[in-house]
Structure 1
């Protein structure tokens, strides 16, 4: 039974989320203060499989909780709860290492589905990280990805990627010259069969471009295909 820590200062949301997670077979613990949540996770992260974290919290806001946990090497999956007018904070939260987000008001069923998808991806990453006799290496232009070691070098330099950025880049590199829609990327990388909000794809593509492109405003690896999505090329010049 996976254990989820729900961190939100609104009692009605905590009750709603706890009820739906419990019905779906999760063990649930709730906290209404960011600093308390941080201390719990810092001291006993192994107790939890997932954190559902609101951005606006007393004690310590959700962004700071996320930042500190990732800086200290706590890799527990985090789903952010964010209001529609907090897009700047959302982008920062994903950049700090959050795995996903759900916008308020949200469907409890969607939140549970997102949680299951995040947990499946986490299990898959752990399996892929097991030692293998022959590691898979992907190359494109100046990019070299060692899948087994979970390392990426760009122009010979080791570059840090969040788990989701790594998965997205791997999918791009495994499907060069294919036009990939945002819905397809959500399905294959995030594990969502349907979604109405594709901003999470655009945010992660933007972060990838900043890390792998010589000029993120004029990308040569990840090209935008207007009205559809993106195409990964071998790094040749072009529009």
Structure 2
């Protein structure tokens, strides 16, 4: 949808300009930042629909910027990095990123990922959860509100990302049903996604840290060895 605002953060001016050019061609409003401090200032003061964030930045690195943003916002974040190992990707996702692309990257693919994330967020904003008669789903120790997009666990409000909320709400609306990593990845990230199923494992780990009394021995989201995960009602 034309008119959505995207923050592009990279200390390389050529990369910033190339990304900006491709996104503006698609009708997006683009804000540019060259370091972590600028990025954080924009993120905290400007309504944004998505952030493209380099991991290696002056003053504050991308991980620090992402962690600060996640304290108050669930705006989708796509990380860019010259580091593209599985460990590097996990670090970005654990910090709160929604996606990860290694450098060098194809601008066309980046635009496709941007479109996919924005499209899924628009659907999320208008989604009618047909599996739930009420907008509030409550189980012992946890409540989610599908209208206000909020989570309260053990009496405390939880700061979460879009994907964490989608994943948790999906599991809570289908309690005691075991899903494989592949099924969860397809349900939440969809066929338009470009990541891998390890993304599911990282997000489950993040959710457990936020909602479980003992994340090492979870009682809400349990692992079914060799199969996948289920939410225990």
Match of 1:26 in 2: 28
Q: CA deviation at 1:28?
A: 3.4
Q: Distance in 2 between matches of 1:219 and 1:35?
A: 37
Match of 1:169 in 2: 168
Q: Secondary structure at 2:216's aligned position in 1?
A: coil
Residues 138-217 of structure 1 mapped to structure 2, 5 A cutoff? 138-155=137-154, 157-163=155-161, 164-217=163-216
Residues 1-239 of structure 1 mapped to structure 2, 5 A cutoff? 1=2, 2-43=4-45, 45-46=46-47, 48-71=48-71, 73-82=72-81, 83-85=83-85, 87=87, 91=90, 93-127=92-126, 135-155=134-154, 157-163=155-161, 164-234=163-233
Query: Alpha-carbon deviations, 1:6-32, whole Å to 9, x = none?
Result: 211234533443344344443434333
Q: CA contact under 8 A between 2:7 and 2:31: conserved in structure 1? A: yes
Q: Distance in 2 between matches of 1:74 and 1:141?
A: 26
Structure 1 segments of 4 or more deviating over 6 A?
none
Q: Distance in 1 between matches of 2:8 and 2:226?
A: 37
Structure 2 unaligned segments of length 5 or more: list them.
Answer: none
CA RMSD of the aligned region, Å?
3.2
TM-score (structure 1 length as normaliser): 0.75
Q: CA contact under 8 A between 2:78 and 2:99: conserved in structure 1? A: yes
Q: Distance in 1 between matches of 2:158 and 2:96?
A: 11
Instruction: Identify if the C-alpha distance between structure 1 residues 200 and 42 changes in structure 2 by more than 3 Å, giving closer, same or farther.
Output: same
Q: CA deviation at 1:189?
A: 1.7
Q: Distance in 1 between matches of 2:97 and 2:195?
A: 20
Query: Alpha-carbon deviations, 1:49-72, whole Å to 9, x = none?
Result: 32100010123211232233344x
TM-score (structure 2 length as normaliser): 0.76
Q: Distance in 2 between matches of 1:26 and 1:139?
A: 38
Q: CA contact under 8 A between 1:49 and 1:76: conserved in structure 2? A: yes
